[in-house]
Amino acid sequence: MNPMLNIAIRAARKAGNVIAKSYERRDDIQTSAKGPNDYVTNVDKAAEAVIIETIRASYPDHTIVTEESGALEGQNSDIQWVIDPLDGTTNFIKGFPHFSVSIAIRVKGRTEVGVVYDPIKNELFTAVRGEGAKFNELRLRVPERRDLQGAVLTTGFPFKQPKFMPIQFAMMSALSAEAADFRRTGSAALDLCYVAAGRVDGFFEMGLKAWDIAAGELIAREAGALACDFNAGHQFLKEGHIVVASPRVVKAILSLIQPCLGNEFNA
């Protein structure tokens, strides 16, 4: 096993244990607001601390970029661990059992390892660049679809950036002419893994951060999906707007959503 993948899995499982235990003791959860519709809990911070401790024990010189602490610069800035300790915090706060730990490892600007762990279902999604993706120990492969007919798409609402809401609804209206249904589950990392596993047929969302999607995007891509931004480019980690599906479905999604976009989305 890739040594960094091994450490990423260990860190994700340790953080997952912290999250699962806290989920069962809901009276101990302390919540504060970071911004409009954006929350953090003591559990996010505790899970993040466990991940950082696990990484530092094996790779003390690596840089770590986390949702809650920002960039923790190491002597080796070429290797970055991009972490979301609890993707789906709102679900966690509400007691909705759908959230995950997301850990990506980027080397010289390219994602090499991705790990997403669902501690409630005990589902582990992993990928190493060029070596494929796995669900627990099963190899993942995205089913090929010819078009959007009968497709189930997953998305997330840009609730932290309300200015995008009209575009979100316009895109969904356009897609509903061909797609069968939508899912909105509250964890982008798991949405991407569900594309990889064939549980949904595609994913699109605006206003995301790198730690939301870096690991899941690699997992989906290594399972055979195509990932791009709304202009069919590769700026999704920077811009936060992403489409992921099998190649023909991505093409069909882009053809329907691009007319809904404003000038700020133009390449």
**Structure token digits, residue 111:** 């994602």
Is 24 annotated in a binding site? The answer is no
Is 84 annotated in a binding site? The answer is yes
Cα separation, 46 vs 52, in Å, equals: 10
DSSP string, 38-105: EEEEHHHHHHHHHHHHHHHHH-TTEEEEETTTEEE--SEEEEEEEEEEEETHHHHHHT-S--EEEEEE
Backbone angles phi and psi of 219, in degrees to 5: -60, -45
Is 212 annotated in a binding site? The answer is yes
Cα separation, 189 vs 223, in Å, equals: 15
**Nearest-CA neighbor of 28 among 37, 36, 19?**
19
Is 118 annotated in a binding site? The answer is no
Is 87 annotated in a binding site? The answer is yes
Query: Which residues participate in the annotated binding site for Mg(2+)?
Result: 67, 84, 86-87, 212
Mark the binding-site residues, compressed into ranges.
67, 84, 86-87, 212
